[in-house]
Chains A and B, each alone.
Chain A
Amino acid sequence: MEELDKIKEHLRRYEPQLKDRDALREGVIKKISSSRSGLDYVFGWTEIVWLRRSMALASVLIVILFGIQQVFMTKRIEKLEKRMISINTDKVLEYQREKVIANSVLFTDLERKDMNDSIKVATGDLLDLVKSYRSLQTKYEEILKKARTDNLENKKQKL
């Protein structure tokens, strides 16, 4: 340790000489004179601490607001999707019944997560199927109606 102390003493006594001080000084002046570029004027405000901090805080708040908005939007879309199917099936049924039923089938099918048991059916085929189902239903209703009226007539005749 004693040797180290001697070396430290030698180092302390040595004053390094800065060579060419003028060149260094002028180098600094040259740099600080040319450093005022257009970008400095645009981004000069970043030097102001309180402004920089408040901008950072604002950006964080905007990101949080964006996240909250996204959550609300997703929930709203989900609600609207559910409503769309019910509107299709209940109210528009009057005049595009077949298409509406087909659409609702397609929608509900697409929403299903587990598609392992599903089969693929072309939209045209599905519409034909619904049409034939509808015509059968109409015929069945007509037959029922006819049967009812026949029954009533028979009863009248018996009386």
Chain B
Amino acid sequence: MNKGYNISEIREGNQIEFRKLMDDNMDHLYTIAFRITASEEDARDIVQDTFIRLWEKRKILKESGRVKYLLRKIAVNKSYDLLRKRKRNRTDRIDMSVFKVLAGGENADHKLNEREVLTILRSLASVLSPKQRIVFTMVELQEMSHDEVAGITGMTKSTIKSNLNHAKRRLGHLVDNYIK
């Protein structure tokens, strides 16, 4: 079920157990927030706020616990709020040459560095609405099922499908433009 932390202890306010919970989930949450926000700093803030929120809500945690689900839900919703607040297309000029490198078949083993990933994520994000971005990240990059995404975001399955299709089409155009 959970790895090394005791939910009932956390519910009672045990911070040592809560540290264990943080250690278990920190990386996973950071990856989600990083992929959605395309910002190291924002992702850190979201992870921090997510744990604080979970601590505030600790009384409702159950032993059988869907802690991971709850954490994802909080993190995704916080990321979504951040995207909505952030002005769209705030990205500066982005070096798109990385697209050509990645799309070329001969670079299949190319290992991306953080700067390149951020470049790609930001350029992809610049053409997507916050909803499309959330859906695309969760389905395509986090490989979550439509049901999971619906549970976390509160969107209907049809909304998820249509947002995903729009996102894919837009990103397809963007990538084609830079490669061809």
Contact with A along B134-154 (1 / 0, CB 8 A): 000000110100000000000
Q: A27–B72 Cα gap in the complex (Å)? A: 20
A-B contact count (CB 8 A): 87
Q: Which residues of B contact A15 (CB under 8 A)?
A: 27, 31
Residues of A1-39 whose CB lies within 8 A of B:
1, 3-4, 6-8, 10-19, 21, 24-25, 27-29, 31-33, 35
- A-side interface size class: 20 to 34
Residue of B55, B59, B117 touching A32 (CB-CB under 8 A): B55
> In whole angstroms, what is the CA distance A95 to B59 when docked?
76
Q: How far is the CB of A53 from chain B (nearest CB, A)?
A: 15
B:134-180 near A, CB below 8 Å:
140-141, 143, 168, 171-172, 175-176, 179
Q: Are A27 and B99 in contact (CB under 8 A)?
A: no
In whole Å, how far is B117's beta carbon from the nearest beta carbon of chain A?
Answer: 5
Among residues 81 to 139 in chain B, which have CB atoms less than 8 Å away from a CB atom of chain A?
99, 102-103, 105, 108, 110, 112, 114, 117, 120-121
The main secondary structure of chain A at its interface with chain B is helix
Q: Is B175 in contact with A3, judged by CB distance below 8 angstroms? A: yes
From known contacts A14-B112, A21-B26, infer whether A3 and B176 are also in contact, taking CB-CB under 8 Å: yes
The answer to whether B121 and A11 touch across the interface, beta carbons within 8 angstroms, is yes
- Supply 4 further A-B pairs (C-beta < 8 A) apart from A25-B22, A29-B18: A8-B141, A10-B110, A10-B112, A14-B112
B-binding residues in A (CB < 8 A): 1, 3-4, 6-8, 10-19, 21, 24-25, 27-29, 31-33, 35, 47
The 10 closest A-B pairs by CB, nearest first: A3-B103, A16-B34, A18-B30, A28-B51, A32-B55, A3-B175, A14-B112, A4-B175, A14-B117, A7-B102
